[in-house]
Structure formats: structure tokens, C-alpha cells
């Protein structure tokens, strides 16, 4: 007797490599969009080597700065948690890169004065105002962050103080991973450190067949490891990643 039951279509298996603190919104959107998801964090957010000393000292001198630039939701969260006197930051101009960073700022009750349409440092430089008299910028960021932004601002005449708000490291504890057993179709990388750490943790032999990148900076890092990028998000955010997967 012939079985007329139709088999359910196989769901695409997608690996998310974001840190635990950032992964939930992306995992939720992917699951709601019909993907089978696996969380395999390849980075862990930790305090910088000075345990935040430079960051706290810069916050004590906020009156010296014309602009504060926040380039990630992690950096924004850590920076804003250290703020005791909200009146000082209310008087500052704040620029952010990315919708996630803007969301974190709003959750703390602040509004951004500048949000470039292009969610990259290059986009911020294009939108940033001309130098003011003795203009000074505070840039809390990750250790080992790209130096493009402070370099470009300094070339435009701004004085830029870079302080490390956090560092991204390989997780101290992580599960083993064998993609021959899991059979993941795609893996999402959201920063250069996510792919670098994946290779260190699991080896090139466990790379899934298709690689998705959040944007140009991550794409370059992936290609530097001699991997092909199958999809790159048009917008460097969660929705951009989901959209490019749905449109493939």
C-alpha cells in the first residue's frame, strides 16, 4: 500500500556564533522565520585588561568631550552602566553605529544625536561633523578594535581618546562540535573575532558548507582565512542577516 503522507520539508540548520548576551534576538528571529538554529558562541565578553580603570577615569572627565561615539551594543551597555551623573551625559552629543547600539542607548533613556545610515565606521566618518574648536571625542570600544575610526577622526583634526570598555575572548568553557554529526547548512559570523575563534576552537574541517557575514568588515576577515562568503547582509544588523537568508 502506497504511503500518501508527504514528508515535511527539511528545515535549514543555521549556527549562530554570537556571544550569549547578544544571541537571543537573532536566534528568536531565525526560529520564527522557519530555520533550525544552533547556538555555538565563539566569543565571550570580558572586562579589559585594566578591569575598566581607563573607562571609569574618562567618565569622570566627560565634561572635556564634545562627542561620545558608541560603536557596539556591548560597548554602549558597559559604558552606560558606569554613568552615575546623567546630567553630564545629557549635555554631550552622542553618535552610535548600528540599530542594536541605538536600542541599547534608548533602553538607558538616552537619544543618539547622530546615526549613520551605513552601519559601519566608514559611514560614521562620512556623516560626522567638521572639527569644532579644540574638538574632543571619547571612543569607548573593544580591545583590538579596528583603528580606522580614531585614525580618520584624528586626520580630520579631532582629538580622540580611545578607551577599552571590554574585550572579546574565546569562551573559557565550550562544548565540542562535529559538523558531520550536526549537519549544519549555514554558519553566521558577526565580527572578525567570531570566525577567528571558530577556527581556533573547532578547526576548518567543521566549517558548514555556507557562510553568512553580517557586513563588509567581517566578510574581509572571512576571506582572509581563505573562505568563501555565500551571503552578506545588506544591513549590518539582525534583520539584515535574516533577510539575506530568506532571500537566498
Which one is predicted more confidently, 9 or 100? 100
Render pLDDT for 121-141 as a digit per residue (tens, 0 to 9): 899 999 999 887 789 999 999
- How many alpha carbons fall within 13 Å on the CB side of residue 133? 0
| DSSP assignment letter at 234 | S
| Residue 6 confidence (pLDDT) | 52
Supply the mean pLDDT for the chain. Answer: 91
C-alpha closest to that of 67 among 157, 171, 177, 168:
157
Examine the pLDDT at 5 and tell me if it is beyond 80: no
Examine the pLDDT at 224 and tell me if it is beyond 60: yes
Examine the pLDDT at 30 and tell me if it is beyond 60: yes
Residue ranges of domains in the chain, CATH in brackets: 13-43+173-247 (3.40.50.10090), 46-169 (3.40.50.10090)
| Residue 4 confidence (pLDDT) | 53
| Residue 85 confidence (pLDDT) | 84
| Residue 1 confidence (pLDDT) | 45
Render pLDDT for 180-218 as a digit per residue (tens, 0 to 9): 999 999 999 999 999 999 999 999 999 999 999 999 999
Examine the pLDDT at 145 and tell me if it is beyond 70: yes
The whole model's pTM is what? Answer: 0.85
Render pLDDT for 70-109 as a digit per residue (tens, 0 to 9): 999 899 999 999 988 888 888 899 999 988 899 999 999 9
The stretch 139-162 carries a mean pLDDT of 94
| Residue 15 confidence (pLDDT) | 97
| Residue 90 confidence (pLDDT) | 84
The stretch 14-31 carries a mean pLDDT of 92
- How many alpha carbons fall within 13 Å on the CB side of residue 12? 21
Q: Sort strands 44-46 and 159-169 into parallel, antiparallel or unpaired.
A: antiparallel
Examine the pLDDT at 7 and tell me if it is beyond 70: no
Amino acid at each position: 500500500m502506497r504511503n500518501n503522507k508527504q514528508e515535511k520539508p527539511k528545515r535549514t540548520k543555521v549556527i549562530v556564533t554570537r556571544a550569549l548576551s547578544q544571541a537571543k534576538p537573532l536566534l528568536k528571529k531565525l526560529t520564527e522565520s522557519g530555520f533550525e538554529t544552533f547556538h555555538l558562541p565563539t566569543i565571550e565578553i570580558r572586562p579589559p585588561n585594566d578591569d575598566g580603570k581607563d573607562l571609569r577615569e574618562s567618565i569622570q572627565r566627560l565634561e572635556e568631550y564634545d562627542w561620545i561615539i558608541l560603536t557596539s551594543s556591548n560597548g554602549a551597555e558597559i559604558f552606560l552602566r558606569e554613568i552615575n551623573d546623567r546630567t553630564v551625559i545629557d549635555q554631550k552629543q552622542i553618535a552610535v553605529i548600528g540599530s542594536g547600539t541605538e536600542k541599547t542607548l534608548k533602553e538607558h533613556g538616552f537619544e543618539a544625536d547622530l546615526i549613520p545610515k551605513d552601519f559601519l565606521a566608514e559611514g560614521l566618518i562620512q556623516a560626522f561633523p567638521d572639527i569644532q574648536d579644540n574638538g574632543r571625542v571619547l571612543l569607548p570600544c573593544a580591545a583590538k578594535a579596528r583603528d580606522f575610526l580614531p585614525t580618520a577622526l584624528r586626520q580630520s583634526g579631532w582629538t580622540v581618546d580611545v578607551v577599552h570598555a571590554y574585550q572579546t575572548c574565546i569562551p573559557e568553557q565550550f562544548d565540542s562540535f562535529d559538523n558531520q554529526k550536526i549537519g549544519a547548512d549555514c554558519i553566521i559570523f558577526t565580527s572578525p573575532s567570531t570566525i577567528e575563534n571558530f577556527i581556533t576552537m573547532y578547526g576548518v574541517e567543521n566549517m558548514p558548507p555556507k557562510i553568512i557575514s553580517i557586513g563588509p568588515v567581517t566578510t574581509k576577515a572571512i576571506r582572509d582565512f581563505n573562505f568563501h562568503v555565500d551571503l552578506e547582509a545588506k544591513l549590518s544588523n539582525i534583520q539584515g542577516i535574516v533577510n539575506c537568508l530568506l532571500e537566498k
